[in-house]
Amino acid sequence: MPKCPSVCVLFDGTFDGFLTIIHAHYYDRLEPDYIFESGSYQQTIGSSYVNVEADAIKSEVVFRAIKEKISPDAASSVYYSFLCFEPDRFMNIYRYILLGFKTGADVDAYMKYDYVIYVRRTAKYVGGEAHLLTGFCRFTETERGVLYAKIGPNNNVLPLVANHFADRLMNEQWIIHDEKRKTAAVYDGSEFVITDVPDEINVAGNASEDGYRKLWRTFYDTIAVESRVNYKLQRNHLPLRYRKYMTEFNREISKPPAPEPPSIFEPPLTLEQPSSFERSPAPEPPRASN
Q: Kindly list the domain boundaries of the chain, sorted by start residue.
A: 6-131, 136-196, 209-249
pLDDT value at residue 198: 84
What share of the chain has pLDDT > 70, as a percent?
Answer: 85
For the stretch 86-144, pLDDT in tens is: 989 999 999 999 999 999 999 999 999 999 999 999 999 999 999 999 999 999 998 88
Which tops the pLDDT comparison, 229 or 40? 229
Res 262 pLDDT > 50? no
* Burial of 272: CB neighbours in 10 Å, binned 0-12, 13-18, 19+: exposed
Residue 169's pLDDT is what?
Answer: 94
Residue 13 CB contacts under 8 Å (≥ 6 apart), including other chains: 37, 38, 39, 40
CA distance 268 to 264: 9
CB atoms within 10 A of CB 88: 12
197: closest CA among 240, 151, 236? 151
pTM: predicted TM-score of the whole model, two decimal places:
0.79
pLDDT of residue 126: 97
What pairs with residue 10 in β-bridges? 36, 51
pLDDT at 268: 47
Note the pLDDT of residue 180. 92
Rg (CA), the chain: 32
Interval 205-221: pLDDT, tens: 777 888 888 888 888 88
Q: Is the pLDDT of residue 287 over 60?
A: no
pLDDT category at 269 given cuts 50, 70, 90 is: very low
Mean pLDDT of the residues in the chain: 85
Distant-in-sequence contacts of 200-203, Cβ < 8 A, 24+ apart: 201/177, 203/140, 203/142, 203/148
| pLDDT higher than 80, residue 28 | yes
Phi, psi dihedral angles at 45 (to 5 degrees): -75, 140
